[in-house]
Chains A and B, each alone.
Chain A
Amino acid sequence: MSTAASATTGDRLAIGDRTLSSRLIIGTGKYRSYDEMKAAHRASGAQMVTVAVRRVPLDRGVESFLDHLDPAMQILPNTAGCYTAAEAIRTARLAREALQTDLIKLEVIGDETTLFPDNEQTLEAAAVLAKEGFAVLPYFTDDLIMARKLLDAGCPAVMPLAAPIGSGLGIQNPANLRIMREQLPEATIIVDAGVGTASDAAIAMELGADAVLMNTAIAESQDPVKMAQAMRLAIEAGRLAYLAGRMSKRLYASATSPLTGVVR
């Protein structure tokens, strides 16, 4: 464990003026129990965790969900469940008031079946919130032009999807991620949604993503603690491979041992 961790020491994820040593951002949904969630969070090494804003139930006492999170984790509230810019803006303002944080993971959903983002509403909300001083992390379709517009609107990072939320399909369009990385070399790009297993996370990082946000791949695995550790290692491995720079592909073999001096 410590070897992998030390290999990326000093290489930190930057989100605006914040930096984190872990490049895995983790969710809080779908776990079988709080204990399982806590153990998975620990195993993941994540330092940032996302939570949703919902109406308080009025007729029963409720414990605070936040009490089940490691207090050392940075909380990234999200606007999941919002379908318009107006709803997302209100939700972000409420989250900021409750948590005293300027961080917001902006999600404006366009369709219940795919949970694909409404990019137009997302951009509108991002512009308003960025002007109000929020550090807006927007979930959007993996599209370079949209990424540029969101960055121009003042977002400190962008969060393209890799596949539908909760689908576990893996990186469906690696070319789009590569293009985004190459064309936006300074931007912080966080792959949000679609990862199914460790190799998917490694591929996202090898393509040059700065981080990956995931929930279902860990929570719905048979052993979330093991999968959380696998994801942690995969993200470190993928990051190192990206920094190392892969060899070029060639169609034919290229011998690794000297061709001279072979016994005949």
Chain B
Amino acid sequence: MNLRINGEDREVADNVSLTELVAQLDLTPARIAIELNQNVVRRANWPSTVLKENDELEIVHFVGGGKGRKSLQ
């Protein structure tokens, strides 16, 4: 199925959970946060959150500074 992650289209297996997606993307789960269709998903709910076709995700972390280009669209 298709997901839109950080503005990019991604093909992933059907019925993947957020926890599985984080592992597949090789992201370090500590100190990232995830928004699903514009709502934050608490870390405790990642395992039970099963993604659906065309879900939109924002996965963020922290970087130095700030002032600059747009962050979320």
- A residues at B contact (CB < 8 Å): 27-31, 37, 50-56, 58, 61-62, 64-66, 75, 77-83, 87, 90-91, 93-95, 97-99, 107, 109, 115, 165-166, 215
Contact = CB atoms under 8 A, between A and B. Distances in A.
Contacts of A31: 64
Given A29-B64, A82-B71, 7 more contacts: A29-B67, A30-B64, A51-B64, A55-B58, A81-B71, A90-B58, A94-B33
**Chain B contact residues, majority secondary structure:** loop
A94 B62 contact: no
B58 A94 contact: yes
B68 A81 contact: yes
8 contacts: A29-B66, A31-B64, A52-B66, A55-B72, A81-B71, A91-B72, A98-B60, A215-B65
B68 A28 contact: no
B59 A55 contact: yes
Nearest to B7: A55
B16 interface: no
Contacts of A90: 35, 38, 40, 58, 72
A80 B59 CA distance: 17
A135 B4 CA distance: 32
Contacts of B8: 58
A221 to B, nearest CB: 16
A80 to B, nearest CB: 3
B65 A56 contact: no
A251 B71 CA distance: 53
A54 B15 CA distance: 27
Interface in B1-53: 5-8, 10, 25-28, 30-35, 38, 40, 42-43
Nearest to A75: B62
B54 to A, nearest CB: 17
B42 A87 contact: no
Contacts of A61: 26
Contacts of B34: 94, 97
B6 A98 contact: no
Contacts of B40: 90, 93-94, 97
B70 A77 contact: no
B69 A56 contact: no
B67 A81 contact: yes
Contacts of A56: 6, 27, 32, 59-61
Contacts of A78: 66
Nearest to B42: A97
